[in-house]
Structure 1
Amino acid sequence: MWTPDVLDGFEQLTLDLEPDEEGDVVATLARRTVPGETDAGVDLLYVHGWNDYFFQAHLADFWERLGVRFHALDLRKYGRSIRAGQTPNYVADLGTYDEDVAAALAAIGHGVGTRNSRRLVLMGHSTGGLVLSLWASRHPGRAAGVVLNAPWLELQMREAGRRVLEPGVRAAAAINPRGPVVYYDRGLYSRAISAEYDGEWEYDSEWRSNYGRRPTPAWMAAILRGHDRVAHGLAIDAPVLVLLSARSSMPTRWTEETQRTDTVLDVVGVARRVPNLGPVTTLVWVDGALHDVTLSSAPVREVVWRETARWFRGYVTCDAIPREPAEEAHDHTPWWRTALARLSTRRRGAPDT
C-alpha cells in the first residue's frame, strides 16, 4: 500500500524482501503522489549512491517536465529502508540488489515477462550507478536507456590500487565481514551540498551522514569485484549517458575548488571505463559540477538538464517502437566487446590473433 512519504508531494511503497541474517529486509519505492500533466510513455527508476537516499525532489521535477514517470528506490538498509538492528548500507555482493530492483520494477509494471508498452530508463548515482550498470548488463532487453550520474566505475587509485588492496580486503571480509575499515571523511562534500553549511539542499543527516559511513570489508570486497567486472567489459545493450564533473580534487581543507569539483571520485579514472559499458555510450563533462552533478549550483544544473534532455530525446523518445520485454537474461559476447579486446591487445603490442 502506498503511504505518504517524508518528502512533501510524494508517497512511498514498502517492498518486502527475503530476510537475511540480520532479520527482515525491505526496500522502499518513492514517487510523486500526483503524476505530471504530460506523459511521454516512459518510466524511470532512480537509485542513490553510498551513504545516501532519495531526497532530490528537483530531479523528479526535471524528469516529469519531460513527461517521464519518476520513481526512486531506497535500497535495503539505506534511508527509508533502514530497520533497527541492521548494519546500514551493508551487502556482501552487489548482485544482492537484484532482488531490490526486481521488486521495484514489478511494482511499476516492468517485471520480467510483463507486457508493457512504456519504456524504462534507469538512473543511478555513484555506487547506484555501478549497481545499475551491472544489473543492466545482466538483464539485456529490459531498459531503453541508462543514465549514470558520476558512477563509481573504478577505484580512486585506479586498477593498480585495486590490485594492491583486493587481497587484503578479501581476507578481511572472510574473517570479519562487518568489521572496521580505515576510513576518514572531513565532511567537505557535505559542506558543499548541505543547507546547514554552504550548500542549498536539505536532507536527513541520520540517513545521509555528513561525515560518511564507515564501510565494511565485505562491502568493499563487493565493490572491488564490481569494478573488476566493469574493467573486463559489460554488455549494456541500451544507450548509456554518463555525466561527470570536468575535474576532481581531493582537498584536505575547505577551498573554492570544493564547490566546483568532484571531491569523491577520480573522474578521469571513471571516464576511462565508460567505453567498457556497452556499444553506445555518451560522456558529458560538466564544468563546475560536484560529485552529484544534480546538486551543483543552478547554472551548472542547467547544463546537466540540457544535456540530459538532449540525450533523452535523441535516444529514448526518438521513435515510438516499444521494446519487447526479455523473458530472461542470457550470456553472450557482443561483437563490440570482442573488437575492444582485439584493439587492447594491439595497443599492448601483442600479436593479433
Structure 2
Amino acid sequence: MGDATEWRPDVLGPGFDQLTLTIEDDDEGEVVATLVRHTAGASGEAAAFARRRWRWPWEREEEPERRPAASRCDVLFVHGWSDYFFNPELARFWSDAGARFYALDLRKYGRSLREWQTPGYMTDLAVYDEDIEAALGVITREGGPEASARPLILVGHSTGGLTLSLWAARNAGRAAALVLNSPWLEFQLSGIGRQAIQPMIGFRARLDPMGPLPNVDLGFYTRSVAKELDGEWEYDHAWRPDRGFRTHPAWLTAILAGHATVAAGIDVGAPVLTLVSARSVLQATWDDAMLTSDIVLVVDEIARQSLKLGPNVTVARIDGALHDVFLSREPARAAAYAAVTRWLEGYAPRS
C-alpha cells in the first residue's frame, strides 16, 4: 500500500508535478490516489532573503525581516465532492508563505479517477486514511532528515474539510494547524434534518448501497465558477462535472456519519481557521446574488459546527465569497488570503 511511481509533469503545466500513489484494491479493482506538488519559483522565505541588502560594518543595522507566516511548514490540500485540485493561485500563496505545497486528488476523483470506477464512491470516510498516509509518506521522504521537524498544515475544502477534520481527530498531534475552506460539517437540512433522514438513508444503503439518489444540483455552482460562463476558472469538466457526480445511499450514509461525529464534538488537536462566505443563497432559480454567496451549504451551520472541532477555532466570514472561497471573484479572494495570512501570523506552527 502507498507505493509510488515517478514524478511527472502535471496537467497544470510548468511548476507542477504529479505522483501516482498505489493504494490497496477495493471492490471495483485497482485504486490509486494522486499527489500534486508545486515546484516553481522561489519561496517567500527565499524571496525575502534575496531582498536583504549587504551593509558596511558601521551602518545601522536594519530591522530583520520576519520569516514568512508558514515558513518551513508542509501543506497538504484535499478537495471537495465532485472536485479535484486545479487552483495554481492557491499553491503559489502557500509557497510564497514559505511552505512546501502539496495537493491530493483522492481515490476516484480527478487525476485518480479510472474509467471503471464509480466517481467519488466510498462507504466510510476513514478509507481516505490510506490516501492521506500514502501522501504524507512521500512528503516526509521528500523532506529529508529535517522532515520530522516540519509542521504539517492541513487545508481542506468542503468534503475534504470534513475528511481532514476526522483524520486529525483520529491522529492526535500529527497536524499542527487546519485551514478549512467551507468545510461540509453539517447536512444542509441542519442537525434535525440529518437525524430525521439518517435512518431512512441507512435502510436504503443496506438494501441497495449503490442505487442512484435524486440529483439536486441544478448547475448554478458551475455557472458561478466556470470561465466560459459567469466565473473565472478553467478546469476539466469530466473531472468536475457541471451537475456533480451521481450520489448513492451508502456514500450519503458515510457523509451523515461524519456529520454526526462532528456534532458530538471532536478535538482535531490543533488550531483551526474556518473560512466561509458571509451568506448562503439556496434556491431553485438563478439569482445574480449566487455569484457572491455560498449556494451549496448553509454558512451559519458551518460556522456553528466548526466550534465543535476543538478548543481553538477561528471563523472568518468573507463577504462576497463563493462556496469555494478561493474561487471567488478577486476582492473576496484577496480578503480570504489576507485572513489566512493574519491567522498564520498568530497561529502558524514554527519549526
Letter matched to residue 202 of structure 1: E
Alignment of 1:187-336 (within 5 A): 187-317=219-349, 320=350, 322=351
On the 8 A contact 1:294/1:301 being kept in 2, the answer is yes
How far, CA to CA, are the matches of 1:287 and 1:160 in structure 2?
A: 28
Q: What SS does the corresponding residue of 2:164 show, helix, strand or coil?
A: helix
> What corresponds to 2:40 in structure 1?
34
Q: TM-score, normalising length from structure 2?
A: 0.88
Task: Please state how far the C-alpha of 1:110 moved relative to its aligned partner.
Answer: 7.5
- The structural deviation recorded for 1:35 is 5.5
2:43 is aligned with 1:11:
no
The structural deviation recorded for 1:279 is: 0.8
Query: Is residue 2:212 matched to residue 1:180?
Result: yes
Q: Distance in 2 between matches of 1:8 and 1:312?
A: 29
Structure 1 partner of 2:30: 24
Residues 190, 211 of structure 1: 8 Å contact kept:
yes
Whether the aligned pair in 2 keeps the contact of 1:12 and 1:29 (CA below 8 Å) is: yes
Q: Confirm whether residue 120 of structure 1 aligns to residue 126 of structure 2.
A: no
The residue that corresponds to 1:2 in the other structure is 7
Number of the residue aligned with 1:76: 107
TM-score in terms of structure 1 length: 0.87
Q: Is the 8 A contact 2:43 2:99 kept in 1?
A: no
Amino acid at match of 2:111: R
Report the residue type matching 2:10 in the other structure.
D
Q: How far off its partner does 1:5 sit? A: 0.7
The 8 Å contact of residues 43 and 97 in structure 2, kept in 1 or not, is answered as no
Shift of 1:80: 0.2
Matches within 5 A, 1:62-73: 62-73=93-104
**Deviation for aligned residue 1:78:** 0.2
Q: Deviations over 1:193-234 (max 9, x none)?
A: 101201110000000001112211111000000000000001
The count of aligned residue pairs is 317
Quick one: distance in 1 between partners of 2:131 and 2:209? 21
Inter-partner Cα distance in structure 1 for 2:110 and 2:332: 27
Deviation at 1:34, TM superposition (A): 3.3
Report the Cα distance in structure 1 between the residues aligned to 2:227 and 2:270, rounded to whole angstroms: 36
8 Å contact 1:122–1:143 — kept in the other structure?
yes
CA shift digits 1:91-141 (9 cap, x unpaired): 000000000000000110089xx9611111000000000000000111111
Structure 1 moving runs of 4+ over 3 Å:
33-39
Instruction: Point out where structure 2 has 5 or more consecutive residues left out of the alignment.
Output: 1-5, 46-70
Cα distance between partner residues in 1 of 2:167 and 2:242: 29
The amino acid that maps onto 1:180 is P
1:237 deviates by 1.1
Q: Secondary structure at the match of 1:196?
A: coil
- Give unpaired runs (5+ residues) of structure 1: 323-353
